[in-house]
Amino acid sequence: MCLIHRRNSLTALLLASLCFPLLPGQAQEQAPVARSQHGWLDPTVKDEYKKWLREDVVYVISDDERDDFKKLSSDKQRDEFVIAFWERRNPTPGAAENKFKEEHYRRLAYANQHFAAELPGWKADRGRFYITFGPPDSVDAKPAFAPPTETWHYLFVEGIGRDVVLTFTDKCLCGKYDLAGADSDSRAPRLFDPLKY
């Protein structure tokens, strides 16, 4: 369950958008018959493409992009889509090195290595937020609490605001930390401009 404590409704909506109960693809895996009825991936699509859509880019792909990818009919089209997908996010378009893609896969690997407990790290709440927002600016871990807690602090998160605080608890004492609360100040940070003072 995703509980959100907040100062304003905009922050609640933004954070709630990250707290959906099923990740795209989970319901389809549980109901394979519904998959073809709802235009999900053709059963002949290779697992590498299914994994890319359901796991690798689940938090960074738009709904329109996901729908477009599902409609592709050949591996060549899918390969071209993947190349174009990463190029659209490349901070230096046309460069061989794509810092966005490299950072995304670094975060994914980190989440899988550090946040896995009952679920792969990318599916865990801490993994989802780490992949989406990056590493927090500070972490206040209290493993001796009952239940153990971790509070992540972000100075600023684009689209949410400043002073974002996420609290995770391990209620099962099994290493699976679920989001227990979130708070932020949605006002954009004021930058010091020496010419104004």
The yes-or-no verdict on residue 71 having pLDDT over 70 is: yes
At 141 the pLDDT is 92
Record the tokens describing residue 30, joined without a space: 């549980």
Residue 26 has pLDDT above 90, yes or no: no
Q: What is the pLDDT of residues 137-190, one digit of tens each?
A: 999 999 888 899 999 999 998 888 889 999 999 998 888 999 988 876 655 445
Domain ranges of the chain: 1-23+121-188
Q: How many CB atoms lie within 10 A of CB 74?
A: 9
Mean pLDDT of 104-118: 95
pLDDT for residue 4 is more than 50: no
Cα–Cα distance for residue pair 194/197, rounded to 1 Å: 5
